[in-house]
Amino acid sequence: QKEVEQNSGPLSVPEGAIASLNCTYSDRVSQSFFWYRQYSGKSPELIMSIYSNGDKEDGRFTAQLNKASQYVSLLIRDSQPSDSATYLCAVGTGTASKLTFGTGTRLQVTL
């Protein structure tokens, strides 16, 4: 049984701070790792993808992958109230493969 684990939160951070979201996965053959953002009542939006060990930066977002530890994280710098959402970690095993989703971490950015 493939599993993706996330802390459900809520994770509360003040505006301007760094939010750190974490995810672990069980399937060692996983090849692709994604972070989706989902606002309440909306569908998920892809914000980051990462495929190799290390860091990948895109604007205020940095994804980190450690395959040996089966761990992937998302850092959000200079957090804004508009970042308040549920962040879903998803893991896949190949091209166009189905993804296994975590249950999501709810992030609250406070003023």
Partner 1 sequence: GAVVSQHPSWVICKSGTSVKIECRSLDFQATTMFWYRQFPKQSLMLMATSNEGSKATYEQGVEKDKFLINHASLTLSTLTVTSAHPEDSSFYICSASASSYEQYFGPGTRLTVT
Binding residues for partner 1 (CB under 8 A): 31-32, 34, 36, 42-46, 49, 51, 88, 90, 92, 94-99, 101-104
Nearer residue to partner 1 within complex by CB, 26 or 97: 97
Using only C-alpha atoms, the chain has a radius of gyration, in whole angstroms, of 13
- Tell which residue, 13, 9, 1, has the closest CA to residue 79: 13
Q: Give yes or no for a contact between 3 and 25, defined as CB atoms under 8 angstroms apart.
A: yes
CB of 46 to partner 1, least distance (A): 6
Q: Which is nearer to partner 1, 18 or 46 (CB)?
A: 46
Whichever of 51 and 71 has its CB closer to partner 1, that residue is: 51
Contacts of 40 (CB under 8 A, 6+ apart): 85, 86
